[in-house]
Amino acid sequence: MRTGYADLPLHGGQCPPWLFQRMTKLGRSLLIILVREEGAPGALTRLADPFWFQSLGCLLGFDWHSSGLTTTVCGALKEGLRGCEKELGLFIAGGKGKTSRKTPQHIIACFDKYAIHANPDKLIYASKMSAKVDNTAVQDGYQLYHHTFVFTNKGDWAVVQQGMNTDNRRARRYHWLGSRVDDFVNEPQNAICCDHKEKQVLNLVDLTSCDARRTIASLSRAKPGEITEEYKKLILPSRHSLDEKDIQPKNLERILLKTYEQQPADFEKVLSIKGMGPKTIRALSLISELAYGARPSYNDPAKFSFAHGGKDGYPYPVDKKVYDRSISLLEQAIKEAKLGRDEQLQAFKRLRFIENAKTRRL
């Protein structure tokens, strides 16, 4: 079993155009081969695997020690997929910054253009809830700034999104795979990757937070005035980083009026309400714990160690000639495979077994 982690500082910078163009071409070829060999759902499974995704970034030539690996690899795959979406039955929506907030529009545009027969509302909901969970139900100090939503023409989906902590200058990546999400608010992520575990994280999607989730849902159905009065009475222990300076009772009452009118059946419905942000959820969580004894989890759910940093050309500069040769070989292999001659693709597969044999001997 291969294990390990890379401890990397966060740097600024941009992916040079000459590299991004090559990443796009090689990414397109890899997606075509992957869908051909494992189907569109298989491609989602790969992207939702943090180790595979990190390895893909290295293969595409992007610096292994970079937070930009997430955003640039997703961008290269999205660009590389352009024109092949219908053929592969695979689509990519969202992106970095403002583009991430346009994900629902991107999904609808794909449905309109390619006459996809799945349910767009379910995909839009999955996109919104995966972001809401990682930004609000899991309060780890990392603000989401990148959200990529990948889906198939049959409604399968995966998410790769990333958050940044400006205080400690670290980033962490969140992976979701729709086929394994039975409950959006009960340990739904496929993986959460970061090189540093936080000491205090409000984790309302932890298995042990089920009582807190039920209590929060119950509180959200109560009269707003009653809840704000409870909040005013709270004497918060030092471990909690929220007091009346962070959220005013009037603001809390305003959002609780929405929940009272909608009478959400459970925590997931509470979380999905528009305007339900981290501070309101945290206030309800504190009331549920201190007034009703329903303590949520404060354990950081990060499962894999991947750190993030700069684009400095390490461990070595990209060899453009070798990179272009790799693109050419894969493109030719794809052309041959389409004609029924897949010897080259089979040779690529055999390389894996040769490498595994070498590893065992070592």
pLDDT tens-digit readout, 280-317: 998 899 889 988 999 999 999 986 554 333 334 433 45
Task: Return the percent helix, strand and coil in the chain, to nearest 5.
Answer: 55, 10, 35
Q: What is the mean pLDDT of the chain?
A: 82
Q: Is the pLDDT of residue 2 over 70?
A: no
- Write out pLDDT tens, residues 148-171: 999 999 999 999 999 988 888 888
pLDDT for 359 equals 41
Long-range CB pairs of 76-85 (<8 Å, 24+ gap) are: 76/20, 76/23, 76/24, 76/27, 77/27, 77/31, 78/148, 79/24, 79/27, 80/23, 80/24, 80/25, 80/26, 80/27, 80/28, 80/31, 81/27, 81/28, 81/31, 84/28, 84/31, 84/32, 85/110, 85/114
Residue 97 has pLDDT above 90, yes or no: yes
Among the ranges given (64-68, 69-73, 227-231), the one the predictor scored with the smallest mean pLDDT: 64-68
142 pLDDT above the threshold of 50: yes
Q: What is the pLDDT of residue 303?
A: 66
pLDDT for the residue 161: 96
Q: Per mean pLDDT, which range of 79-88, 232-241, 294-303 is the poorest?
A: 232-241
**What pTM does this model have?**
0.82
Which of 18-27, 103-112, 142-151, 184-193 has the weakest average pLDDT? 18-27
| Domain definitions of the chain by residue range | 17-198, 207-290, 320-361
Give the per-residue pLDDT at 329: 60
For residues 204 and 233, the model is more confident at 204
Q: How confident is the model at residue 19 (pLDDT cuts 50, 70, 90)?
A: confident
More confident residue, 127 or 17: 127
The whole-number pLDDT of residue 297 equals 94
Instruction: Locate 319 and state its tokens.
Output: 């060899």
Model confidence band, residue 109 (pLDDT cutoffs 50, 70, 90): very high
Report whether pLDDT(335) > 80.
no
pLDDT, tens digit, 9 for 90 and up, residues 240-269: 555 555 567 778 888 999 999 999 999 999
